Structure 1
Amino acid sequence: MICVERRAYALGLAIGIVTLGLMFFFVVGLEPLGTN
């Protein structure tokens, strides 16, 4: 049970990191396009 909970926590953490990474990438990538 502990292994499953730890795996689920790791999966949620990975999804959160990827989501934040994509948001940061879009903000940094679209900011110069918006200013030009």
Structure 2
Amino acid sequence: MDNYNAENGTTLVGVAQIHFESMALYGGKVSDLAQIKG
């Protein structure tokens, strides 16, 4: 974010840590959500 602020003349700051679980769903392979195993 420091680089973005320097390049764009902004003063953005982070307000919270966010945990992001990546998940990929691809169309055409599953016809029912119950078929998805986690």
TM-score, with structure 2 as normaliser: 0.22
Structure possessing the higher radius of gyration over alpha carbons = 2
Higher relative contact order (CA 8 A, sep 6+): 2
Relative to total residues, which structure has the larger helix share, 1 or 2? Answer: 1
